Structure 1
Amino acid sequence: MAKNHLLLSFSFFSVLIIAQISHIFAKNTSKSPIVIQPYIIDYRNGTVTKYYNGPASFVPPPIDSQVQSKDIVIPSPSYHNLRARVFLPARPDPSRKIPVLLYFHGGAFCIGSAFGWGDSHYVAKVAAEARVIAIAVDYRLYPDFTVPAPLEDAWAALEWVAAHASRAGPGHDPWVAQYGHLGRIFAGGDSSGATIAHNLAVRVGMGHGPHLSGLFLAMPYFLGSKRVPLEPKWFPFSPNYKVWPYVCNHCKGGVNNKFINPFGRGAPSIAHLGCKKLLVYTAEVDELRGRAIWYYKRVRTSRWPGQARWIEAKGQSHIFHISKPDDPATTKLIRDLSAFVNSN
């Protein structure tokens, strides 16, 4: 009897010890950081940092016989320094105005830079090939700022370009003033930069402010809760999907918010897209491909009166043109973009 009592006591205390260990383990696990690579780390104590928290990517303006470049500050109504890198084709004709291209880099609204090597090399090639003034905008990023801050920066950049129609003004840039064709302003970007460009065109289409001639979306970063054709079933587990609630933490509707879902609840009609033509560029090996193609088809079947085209880079992955700026596929993309900008 005593032996059984001792055995029961031992079992009881064993259960208590196991329960305490399990509680401690569960408590520690619940506080483990949430890592959304390559974007952010959420320490679950109110602190969120970038996955890579070192110095921002920066290379000096490239030295290139085909293009001139410089770094500038664009006046912004939000009272911060909106930086940009401007590219002008070498030896421009002073008697001929050329199109202006506002370009926005990718990085899910939390990483990337207009001053990085890949972006600078790529945008310089675009300026030289397409014979445009290309302005790469270094917009505000998470965690210091959240959406819609990048969209407001894009709007400030567009208004600044359009303001060059007057002969002089605060912050006017001599290259834009002398060579910029202000009746041919284009917006473009890759990944989240394409999302920014889309939102810029939507705002223009609502009847506010400046005019856009065309919109170039390279592998755009669009989301939504309802799966669309060609979208992977596992996509809701992707870092691109998981990071959105952070970068737009005050947005209603989650992934159906109008800023990230062009056809979400409350989004303006795509029929009012504020440009005359659209080029959507996708990569065959890209989890964002399906929704980009779906976007293109929805625009084509809408009442939007403009011209839309879709081109796909076979065998290429997301933002290949930034990671491989000298690749033949990138050369083709740049030529396609040049033809798009310079066609009537």
Structure 2
Amino acid sequence: MASTTPITPKTVTKEIVTDMGTFIRIFSDGSVERPLQSLFAPPSLNDPKTGLSSKDIVISHNPTISSRVYLPKITNPSSKFPILVYFHGGAFVFESAFSQIYHEHIKAFATEANIIVVSVEYSLAPEHPLPTCYHECWAALKWVSSHSNNTLNNAEPWLIQHGDFNRVFIGGDSAGGNITHNIAIQAGIESLPCDVKILGAILIHPYFHSSYPIGSEPIIEPENSICHKVWHLVYPNAPSGIDNPLVNPLGEGATSLEKLGCSKIIVCVAGKDMLRDRGIWYFESVEKSGWKGKLELFEEKDEDHVYHLLKPESEIAKKFIKRLVSFVQE
């Protein structure tokens, strides 16, 4: 009887095929690392300090869209609060509606603004390349709007009982600021359920770019530009590349900014942020477009990108939150 020799399995070498520093690393076996991803935080009911409650819900199973919802302290059972549908940042490749950094920020804002927040958990690239997240965020906003007439099968009681659908806002930071713009454009060309209107849009340090520099931006070859690299990674087949209207609001074929479907907009920038000039460019472009709403610019000259998330206890972050509170309460 012939003897059998055990077969030693071959060792598969795991190599980095895409390395974007602290943003994301993609390996030859298809696995992904997100070094900047912050820890996840659980929701909680009736916070002893603020009375704020939060919980995680499923908006849709096909596609899978979930959310963390925040409800301010109820002092009157008939209380009605404005609603903010929020889109987190993270270059489309990391972060989450459930992460500690966003949970703490939104808790602070929702408490001070007395506003219901629906923080959307959208699918991340590169596993789910763009434009997936835009479709999911639009679906989430439509779901929120559908509560206005209380006919949903998967309705959220907090929205039905306490949501004021005459005061609906959208907002986000960085990539989420980009999403906010594109959702506002969509709302200008397609009606929301129950004819709900977006009252205001909050764009915080929004991610926009183009093939040409603007303001004080240096001329950088695409292969050396982090903005180009990110866009190519998250939307590798984007028509017109970095001038696709989803990232260049003035790109060829873009819907006119005059069509923005909201009544007021605040654009927030930070003086030391590499995206600062793009935010100013966007603000000035909307201002020149013929859009009829109220437009505001808020700049913190000595701060960097998403400083309010990175230094939440600082006086400058608290000042920023107060400015946003003022915007939603005006």
Report the TM-score when normalising by structure 2.
Answer: 0.88
The answer to whether the Cα contact below 8 Å between 1:87 and 1:124 also exists between their aligned partners in 2 is: yes
Q: CA deviation at 1:235?
A: 8.5
1:138 aligns with 2:121: yes
Alpha-carbon distance change, 255 to 292 in structure 1, aligned in 2, over 3 angstroms: same
Alignment of 1:169-184 (within 5 A): 169-184=152-167
Q: Unmatched 5+ residue regions in structure 1?
A: 1-30
Q: Which amino acid aligns with 2:283?
A: Y
Please state how far the C-alpha of 1:32 moved relative to its aligned partner. Answer: 7.2
Name the Cα RMSD after superposition.
2.1
Q: Which residue of 2 aligns with 1:194?
A: 177
- From the superposition, tell whether residues 308 and 139 of structure 1 become closer, same or farther in structure 2 (CA, over 3 Å): same
**What is the match of residue 200 of structure 2?**
214
Q: Shift in Å at residue 166 of structure 1?
A: 1.9
Deviation at 1:240, TM superposition (A): 3.1
Partner AA of 2:263 in structure 1? K
Please identify, of 236-245 and 100-109, the stretch whose mean Cα deviation from structure 2 is larger.
236-245
Q: 2:54 maps to which residue?
A: 69
Is the CA contact (8 Å cut-off) linking 2:177 and 2:207 kept in structure 1?
Answer: yes
Query: Is the Cα–Cα contact under 8 Å of residues 65 and 90 in structure 1 kept in the other structure?
Result: no
Please tell me whether residue 250 in structure 1 is matched to residue 237 in structure 2.
yes
C-alpha distance in 1 between matches for 2:235 and 2:254:
16
Residues 296 and 310 in structure 1, CA contact (< 8 A), matched pair in contact too: yes
Q: How many residues align?
A: 309
Alignment partners' CA distance in 1, 2:29 and 2:183: 31
Structure 2 CA distance, aligned partners of 1:234 and 1:130? Answer: 41
Residues 1:35 and 2:27 are matched in the alignment: no
How far residue 33 of structure 1 moved from its aligned partner, in angstroms, is 3.5
Q: Is the 8 A contact 2:23 2:36 kept in 1?
A: no
Corresponding residue of 1:102: 85
Asked if the contact 2:22/2:36 (under 8 Å) is kept, the reply is no
Q: Corresponding residue for 1:10?
A: none
| 2:246 is equivalent to residue 263 of structure 1 | no
CA deviation digits over 1:131-152, x for unaligned, max 9? 1101111110012201111111
Q: Is the 8 A contact 1:147 1:247 kept in 2?
A: yes
Note the 1:1-344 alignment, pairs <5 A. 33-42=17-26, 47=30, 49-52=32-35, 57-62=39-44, 63-66=47-50, 67-75=52-60, 79-209=62-192, 210-234=196-220, 236=222, 237-343=224-330
CA contact (8 A) 1:142 1:247 kept: yes
Q: What do the CA deviations read for 1:262-311 (whole angstroms, capped 9, x no partner)?
A: 11111100000000000001111100000110100111111100010001
Task: Provide, for residues 41-72 of structure 1, a one-character-per-residue CA deviation record: whole Å limited to 9, x for no partner.
Answer: 355x6947344399x84111154532111111
1:154 Cα offset (Å): 0.8
Unaligned 5+ runs, structure 2: 1-14
Q: What amino acid is aligned across from residue 217 of structure 2 in structure 1?
A: E
Letter in 1 for 2:55: K
The DSSP-based 3-state class of the residue aligned with 2:327 is: helix
Task: Give the C-alpha shift of residue 261 in structure 1.
Answer: 0.9
Q: Bigger radius of gyration, 1 or 2?
A: 1
Partner SS, residue 141 of structure 1:
coil
Task: Give the match for residue 3 of structure 2.
Answer: none
Task: Find the residue that maps to 2:141 and give its secondary structure.
Answer: helix
1:53–1:198 Cα change, 3 Å: closer
Shift of 1:319: 0.8
- Counterpart contact for 1:231–1:288, Cα < 8 Å: no
Alpha-carbon distance between aligned partners in 1 of 2:90 and 2:238, rounded to the nearest angstrom = 19
| Percent identity over paired residues | 36
Equivalents in 2 of 1:223, 1:316: separation in Å? 21
> Is residue 39–residue 243 contact of structure 1 (8 Å, CA) maintained in 2?
no
- Residue 227 of structure 1 aligns with an amino acid whose one-letter code is P
Give the whole-Å Cα distance in 1 for the aligned partners of 2:131 and 2:57: 23
Give the structure 2 partner of residue 18 of structure 1: none
Secondary structure of 2:285 counterpart: helix
C-alpha change, 1:337 and 1:137, in structure 2 (3 Å) is same
Q: What TM-score results when the alignment is normalised by the length of structure 1?
A: 0.84
Distance 2:16 2:41 in 1: 35
**SS in structure 2 of the partner of residue 151 of structure 1:** helix
Q: C-alpha separation between the residues in 2 aligned to 1:273 and 1:72? A: 29
Q: CA deviation at 1:88?
A: 1.0
SS in 2 for 1:301: helix
> Which amino acid counterpart does residue 56 of structure 2 have in structure 1?
D
Shift of 1:168: 3.9
Q: Which residue identity does 1:81 align to in structure 2?
A: T
Which protein has the bigger helix share?
A: 1
Per the TM alignment, residue 165 of structure 1 is displaced from its structure 2 partner at its CA by 1.4
